[in-house]
Amino acid sequence: MDWVKIIENTIRASIGVDAIYFAIAALGLNIHFGYTGMLNFGQAAFMACGSYGLGMTAQYFGIGLWWGIPLGIVFVIILALLVGIPTLRLRADYLAIVTIATAEIVRLFVRSVKFNKVFGGTEGISNFSRQYRELSPLNPGKTYGFRPFSYTGYSLYTIVIGWVLVGVFSLFTWQLMRSPWGRVIKGIREDEDAVRSLGKNVYAYKMQALVIGGVIGMFAGMLLALDRGSVQPDNYSRMVTFYILTALVLGGLAKVAGSVVGAMLFWVLFVFSDNIMRELTRNGPLQIGGTTIIESNQVGAVNYMFVGIGLMLLIVFRPQGLFGNRQEMALDGR
C-alpha cells in the first residue's frame, strides 16, 4: 500500500478547491440552519444561480464575465422570493421537503431540452472563464510549491482566490452574527413566537437570512464553475447539499470555524477512505476468508455509504459537531 500517495492526496484535499467551495457554501447554509433554524436542503440551487449567472453573461449576453456576479445575485433573490414567500412559515422538516424539491426543480429546469439554447441542457455551458484565467499572474503551465503542496499555476491561483473568499465571508458572517440583526435571527431559531411578541417581523428576518445565505452559496457555485471551466447541471444535485450539510454538522452548527474546518475535515475523511479502498483493491477484489468484500468498481459507492453512516452517527452521538454547542442545535422544530 502506497501510504505516501494516500497521505499526500489527503493533505491536498484538505486545502483544495473542493474543500474551499464546500466551506463557502457551508457558511451560507450555517446562516440558514445554524443561526436562523431554517432547515434548507436546497443550497445547491443557490450555487447553481451563481454558476449560470457567470456562464450566461459570457456565453449569451456578450458582456464581461464579472457581470455574472450581479446577475447571479438577481437569480438568488428571485429564487429566494419564489421559495420564501409561500414556505417560510413552514418549520423544520416541512421546510426541508420544500427546499429539496426546489433544488431538484432548478436542476431539471436548466438541463431540460426546451431551454437548451439558454442553459446548455445536459452539456451545460463552457468556454466562459477566459477573462478569469487571464487575470492570473502565474504561468498556467508551470508547477509551483513543493510536495504535497505542488500545483499548476492556474490551480494555485484559484486556491488562493478561494481561500481569500473563505476569509472574507467568515469575517462577514462572524460580524453579522454579533450585530443586533444577528441576535434577532438567533432568537428566531430559539423561539420565533417570543421574537414576534417583541414586535419583530419574523417573516422579513427569515427572508433576509435566506437571501444572505443564498448569496454566499452563490459564490461557492461561481468558484466551482471557474475551477472546472464549465457549468454542468448535475454538479448541483441534491447530493451536494447533503454533503455540505454533513460538513457543516461535522464542524459544528452556529460556529463560523465549524463551517470551514468541517469542510476541510469532510474532504480529508472522504479522500482518505477512498484512497485506502482503492489501494486495497488495486490488485484485485478485497477478500476475507475467500469471500469478496469489495471490488475496485464499488469503491465510489461504498465511500458514499460511509458518508451517510457518518452523518447518522454524528446526529446520534455528536449532533453539535466539533466546535458547536448542543444548546444551539436547531433540530427540535420549534
Expressed as residue numbers, the domain containing 110 is 3-328
What is the pLDDT at residue 280?
87
Over residues 222-244, mean pLDDT: 91
pLDDT tens track for 156-179: 999 999 999 999 999 999 999 999
Cβ neighbour number for residue 8 with a 10 Å cutoff: 16
Query: Could you tell me if residue 333 is inside a domain?
Result: no
Q: Which helix (H) or strand (E) holds 134?
A: helix 130-134
* C-alpha distance across the termini of the chain, in Å: 50
Over residues 125-132, mean pLDDT: 85
Query: Could you tell me if residue 280 is inside a domain?
Result: yes
| Inter-axis angle of helices 17-29 and 153-178, nearest 10 | 20
Query: Could you tell me if residue 334 is inside a domain?
Result: no
Which CATH number belongs to the domain containing residue 31 in this structure? 1.10.3470
* pLDDT surpasses 50 at 334: no
Query: Could you tell me if residue 247 is inside a domain?
Result: yes
Over residues 40-67, mean pLDDT: 86
Query: Could you tell me if residue 221 is inside a domain?
Result: yes
What is the pLDDT at residue 327?
65
With a threshold of 0.85, does the pTM exceed it? Answer: yes
> Which three three-digit cell numbers place residue 127?
468556454
Q: Which of 315, 308, 309 is nearest to 330 (CA)?
A: 315
Query: Could you tell me if residue 116 is inside a domain?
Result: yes
The total number of structural domains that make up the chain:
1
Written as one letter, the residue type at 24 is I
What is the pLDDT at residue 150?
87
Query: Could you tell me if residue 258 is inside a domain?
Result: yes
Q: Which helix (H) or strand (E) holds 136?
A: none
Query: Could you tell me if residue 131 is inside a domain?
Result: yes
